[in-house]
Structure 1
Amino acid sequence: MMGIGFPELMIILVIIMIIFGAGKLPEIGSAFGRSIKNFKTSMKEAEEGEAQGEVESAPEPGAVAENAESAGTSEPAPEPVEADADTPKATENS
């Protein structure tokens, strides 16, 4: 089993203390806590919005088909013009 136990958590905590120092740990902890709180609040608001139907639904298939038909009404591309045999061609050495 690949679980994180108490010894592993202690090693991680010691490494964090070495990197950031003991004085910065309360700042980091409070910033992390605020981030988690904001994330949970945002998720709750999104779930409430879905329950109330505020989230935009996908367009109906008929509307997409109408847009596709109107997009195809443009003029076709002009035919390519063939080069005359009398016209000199550019060479790489010139």
Structure 2
Amino acid sequence: MYGAFQPTHLILILIVVLIIFGPGKLKGIGKSLGEGLHDFKKAVNNDDEKVEKIEIESKPETK
């Protein structure tokens, strides 16, 4: 009726994950995931800056 994941389903999944991994391991997984996302965003932004720099340098000067 409301889709595959209702709030009670999500709570049950969270409880099972907590039981399997434990709070300490779950904290480490979250930290690693956050650092990975941060590094990915940094790399994407760095690539955008490189592309802009290359585009500026490669434009022919018209006089």
Q: TM-score, normalised by structure 1?
A: 0.46
Larger radius of gyration: 1
Offset of residue 47 of structure 1: 1.1
User: Which whole-Å CA distance do the structure 1 matches of 2:6 and 2:42 have between them?
Assistant: 30
Gaps of 5+ in 2: 56-63
Computed over aligned residues only, the root mean square deviation of the Cα atoms, in angstroms, reads 2.2
Larger helix percent: 2
Higher relative contact order structure (alpha carbons within 8 Å, sequence separation ≥ 6):
2
User: Which whole-Å CA distance do the structure 2 matches of 1:46 and 1:3 have between them?
Assistant: 38
Q: Identify the residue that residue 64 of structure 1 maps to in structure 2.
A: none
User: Which whole-Å CA distance do the structure 2 matches of 1:2 and 1:16 have between them?
Assistant: 21
Offset of residue 3 of structure 1: 6.4
Q: Identify the residue that residue 23 of structure 1 maps to in structure 2.
A: 24
Gaps of 5+ in 1: 55-94
Q: TM-score, normalised by structure 2?
A: 0.64
* Aligned residue runs from structure 1 range 10-89, under 5 A: 10-53=11-54
